[in-house]
């Protein structure tokens, strides 16, 4: 009879267990709860669990106990009423504080970046003005250099014209020399002819004068 009762109790206990896997529960805001080897206060305490401890649910029983596994792998039973599906308020607050600090840091970083961008934009604006001023100066200098560069071109053109005129003058001078030489030669020929004529006239006179004298004597 005792064996039968034990079997019935064991069977009813087995039927009251409902395995739950891949679920996560947290110890509620109660200060501490006990992790026991079985479903009841008569079972040995394995360890105490702090409020907010993260537990993996293995099984849930209608007796009010849940079999769990801690983050370090310890398995045991705890009272189901002390488990909640979400982190406790303190953990939420801690996470909120961490997020707040993170957001503050991001805001500070964004402010720093914005200040740096404003400074960079101001520097770029000043650099643009400086470049515009330099560009105007360079354009003026380029115009001046273009004028200066145009002068040698004009001078070179004038020099070429002068060289051409010089060549022409040299040719004209050579022609004048040639004409002068021709005139000299012609003048020399004329003087030569005149001299020859005078000489010939003298010879003729020398021949005629004796004859004239002889004819006068004969007439006497």
Provide the number of structural domains found in the chain. 1
DSSP-assigned beta bridge partners for residue 84:
26
- Those residues with Cβ within 8 angstroms of residue 84's Cβ, 6 or more apart along the chain or in another chain: 25, 26, 27, 28
* Inside any domain, residue 53: yes
pLDDT score for 66 = 95
Q: Which helix (H) or strand (E) holds 59?
A: strand 54-61
pLDDT score for 18 = 46
* Inside any domain, residue 156: no
* Inside any domain, residue 131: no
* Inside any domain, residue 33: yes
pLDDT at residue 202 is higher than 60: yes
pLDDT score for 11 = 28
Q: What is the mean pLDDT of residues 93-108?
A: 79
Confidence (pTM): 0.34
pLDDT at residue 120 is higher than 60: yes
* Inside any domain, residue 142: no
DSSP string, 105-170: HHHHHHHHHHHHHHHHHHHHHHHHHHHHHHHHHHHHHHHHHHHHHHHHHHHHHHHHHHHHHHHHHH
Distance of CA 44 to the CA centre of its chain: 72
* Inside any domain, residue 28: yes
pLDDT at residue 19 is higher than 90: no
Contact 59, 17 (CB under 8 A): yes
Q: Largest alpha-carbon pair distance within the chain?
A: 229
* Inside any domain, residue 219: no
- Alpha-carbon distances of 39 from 21, 28, 33, 46, 115, rounded to whole Å: 18, 19, 14, 12, 63
- Those residues with Cβ within 8 angstroms of residue 157's Cβ, 6 or more apart along the chain or in another chain: none
The per-residue pLDDT for range 24-57, each reduced to its tens digit, is: 765 555 567 899 999 999 999 999 998 888 889 9
Q: What is the mean pLDDT of residues 100-119?
A: 86
Higher pLDDT, 91 or 194: 194
* Inside any domain, residue 50: yes
pLDDT score for 65 = 95
The per-residue pLDDT for range 122-146, each reduced to its tens digit, is: 888 888 888 888 788 888 878 877 7
**CATH code, domain with 49:** 2.30.30.40
pLDDT score for 6 = 26
Domain of residue 6 covers 2-86
């Amino acid at each position: 009879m005792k064996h039968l009762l034990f079997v019935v109790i064991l069977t009813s206990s087995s039927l009251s267990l409902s395995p739950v896997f891949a679920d996560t529960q947290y110890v509620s805001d109660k200060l501490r709860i006990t992790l026991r080897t079985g479903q009841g206060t008569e079972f040995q305490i394995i360890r105490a669990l702090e409020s907010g401890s993260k537990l993996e649910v293995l099984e849930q029983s209608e007796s009010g106990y849940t079999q769990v596994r801690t983050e370090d792998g310890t398995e045991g039973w705890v009272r189901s009423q002390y488990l909640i599906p979400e982190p406790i308020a303190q953990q939420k607050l801690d996470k909120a504080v961490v997020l707040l600090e993170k957001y503050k840091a991001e805001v500070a970083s964004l402010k720093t970046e914005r200040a740096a961008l404003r400074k960079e934009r101001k520097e770029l604006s000043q650099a643009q003005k400086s470049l515009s001023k330099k560009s105007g100066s360079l354009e003026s200098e380029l115009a001046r250099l273009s004028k200066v560069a145009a002068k040698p071109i004009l001078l070179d053109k004038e020099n070429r014209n002068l060289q051409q005129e010089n060549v022409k003058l040299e040719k004209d001078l050579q022609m004048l020399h040639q004409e002068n030489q021709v005139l000299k030669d012609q003048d020399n020929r004329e003087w030569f002819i005149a001299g020859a004529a005078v000489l010939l006239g003298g010879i003729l006179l020398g021949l005629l004068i004796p004859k004239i004298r002889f004819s006068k004597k004969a007439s006497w």
